[in-house]
Amino acid sequence: MRERMVEAAAQLLSRQGLQATSFSEVLEVTGAPRGSVYHHFPEGKDQLVAAAVDLAGTHLLDLIEKKAGASAEEVTEHFLLIWRTILSRSQMKSGCAVLAVTVATDSHALLNHAAAVFRGVRARLAALLEQGGLASGEAAQFAATLVASSEGAVVLSRAEQSMEPFELVAAQLRDQIRRMVTKP
């Protein structure tokens, strides 16, 4: 039951943000009894949100891990595909649960939690990009650029209800990675 509640919270965060995600909505989505909230999350909503942030980060890491050993260009294209798929399948209604928490929380602990997830994603992306042919420093810089640009592009696409902003940013990222791997 705890896992279902965490999954529901992650989905709700990605669709409607932190303030609009409540225990009541998680219970409604999962069909869990009210007492299960207090059993599984005795520290309250922040405990549930932290677990949802962890789950979102783990899910993203699992997805990018599928490109271990691939070229830096393939890693980049795969990362973009992940976000393109999320946007298109949700009809521009879902974004990043970690970002949703980052921009809305007043909790220093939740902000640190989200930061740790972002650091983990950037570090793994950097490692994959380095394995794929980039120098270490370049890989770390491009991983940060890839994450920040993709997140921003998702936000713009959701706001404009159009894939155009995402595709414009994706084209720039593809051009950048091509230049990086083909430089003399």
Q: Give the pLDDT confidence of 132-179 residue by residue, as tens digits.
A: 999 999 999 999 999 999 999 999 999 999 999 999 999 999 999 999
Fold topology of 2-182: Tetracycline Repressor; domain 2 (1.10.357)
Closest CA relative to residue 96, chosen from 156, 42, 177, 47? 156
pLDDT of the residue at 182? 85
pLDDT score at 184: 64
pLDDT at 37: 85
| pTM (predicted TM-score) | 0.93
The DSSP annotation for 51-65 comes to HHHHHHHHHHHHHHH
Which amino acid type is present at position 26? Answer: V
Amino acid symbol at 74: E
- Supply angle C-alpha 86, 90, 94, rounded to 5: 70
Cα distance between residue 109 and residue 100, in whole Å: 15
* pLDDT computed for residue 164 by the predictor: 98
Nearest to 64 by CA among 85, 91, 49: 85
C-alpha distances in Å from residue 30, one per residue of 1, 37, 53, 61, 62: 8, 11, 18, 25, 24
Alpha helices per DSSP H over 17-107: 23-30, 34-40, 45-65, 72-89, 97-104
Q: Domain locations in the chain?
A: 2-182
Mean pLDDT, contiguous 10-residue spans, the chain (184 residues)? 94 94 90 88 94 97 97 98 97 96 96 97 98 96 98 97 98 97 78
Q: Which among 131, 127, 166 is positioned nearest to 150, based on CA atoms?
A: 166
Backbone angles phi, psi at 162, to 5 degrees: -155, 145
Q: In the chain, what is the straight-line distance between the N-terminal and C-terminal CA atoms, in Å? A: 55
- CB-CB neighbours of 63 under 10 Å: 14
